[in-house]
Amino acid sequence: MAAWRYVGTLDDLWEGEMRTVNVGAVDVLLCNPDGEVFAYEDRCPHLANPLSQGVLRDGFLTCAAHEWVFDARTGRGVNPASACLRRYPVRLAGDRIYVSGGQVE
């Protein structure tokens, strides 16, 4: 069972923002597209460019390198639809954000 790691508070990640945190040996991108927090490995599945260098807008995350687009709520690809981000479980305790080191399958 993977441990839950404290990565910040909701004051650190306002609605419409994203930021990178380290969870163990993995850089994880936290996204808050609409008041709910989601966590993904900070790597585009295309060429492993950091997604944190991209843009989060209207619930969609766009990679800066080649403009691949993902739904920030599910991690599923929009363009291309076959792509998918590696997602990590998120838990809130009040305003504190925790991410599990275990990847969601």
pTM of the shown model: 0.93
Examine the pLDDT at 87 and tell me if it is beyond 80: yes
Fold classified for 4-100: Rieske Iron-sulfur Protein (2.102.10)
Q: Mind listing the pLDDT tens digit for each residue in 23-37?
A: 988 999 999 999 999
- pLDDT of res. 104: 60
Q: How does the average pLDDT of the chain come out, rounded?
A: 94
Distance between CA atoms of residues 100 and 74, nearest Å: 17
pLDDT digits (tens, 9 = 90+) for 51-86: 999 999 999 999 999 999 999 999 999 999 999 999
Domain residue ranges in the chain? 4-100
